Amino acid sequence: MLALDEFVLWVNADSPYKTAKEYLAAVKAGNDGQFKMAGTGSKQEDQIITVALDKFTGKKFTYVPFKGGGDVAVQLVGGHVDSTVNNPIEAVAHWRAGKLRPLCVFDDKRMPYKQKVTDTMSWHDIPTCKEAGVNVDYLMLRGIFMPGGVSADQVNFYVNLFKKLRALPEWTEFMEKGSFNQSFMTGKEYADWVQKAEETHKVLMKDAGFLAK
């Protein structure tokens, strides 16, 4: 595991909702399909998070897929949808321009980046969704796999290579620019994490009807 992608719940800056709790309370009080969630692609990360929010609120979002995170952010800026769960890097320019508002990050801890992005807020100032009373978290793996049956020496070669990579200033800059969760794992710890993530995905994708029967 080299890093994990963060996901943030975003609304338009002109939206009346100042917190995730307020927004999802409105979703709970509304009708199925009343609120539109834009996301990248279908049956991928953005829609899986939306399914988790469906389960939390007891109401279904209308999920609207687009080709990429840039298109998703533009749809929210234009007021064509009610929210997105874009990665930080996909929405930061619109946030900085005062067009979008972050409500919470789907992680169990706040992002560590304390440099101000807007006049008043840094990534660290965004509460976790759990802090906001929304018991949903989700992180996307950025990791390296090898074929089965390789030797311990071969594994160690690449583990050490990626450790050296992570020590470079260019890597630090890349992580900060994308506001990544910088968790690093190898060996059994990494394998256990992948297995747990697989089980979580199976439950959410089964609930959403994404799995072939």
Q: Give domain 3-141+195-208's CATH superfamily.
A: Periplasmic binding protein-like II (3.40.190.10)
pLDDT value at residue 60: 95
Q: Does residue 213 carry a pLDDT above 80?
A: no
- Domain boundaries of the chain, sorted by first residue: 3-141+195-208
What is the value of pTM for the model shown?
Answer: 0.93
Burial of residue 192 (CB within 10 Å: 0-12, 13-18, 19+) is exposed
* H-assigned helices in 142-186: 152-166, 169-178
Q: What percent of the chain has pLDDT over 90?
A: 93
Distance, C-alpha 120 to centroid of its chain: 22
Q: Residue 50's closest CA among 41, 58, 60?
A: 60
For 12-65, write each residue's pLDDT tens digit: 999 999 999 999 999 999 999 999 999 999 999 999 999 999 999 999 999 999
The counts of H helices and E strands in the chain are: 7, 7
Integer angstrom CA distances of residue 99 from 77, 118, 173, 191, 212: 6, 11, 25, 40, 39
What pLDDT is recorded for position 189? 97
Q: What is the mean pLDDT of the chain?
A: 95
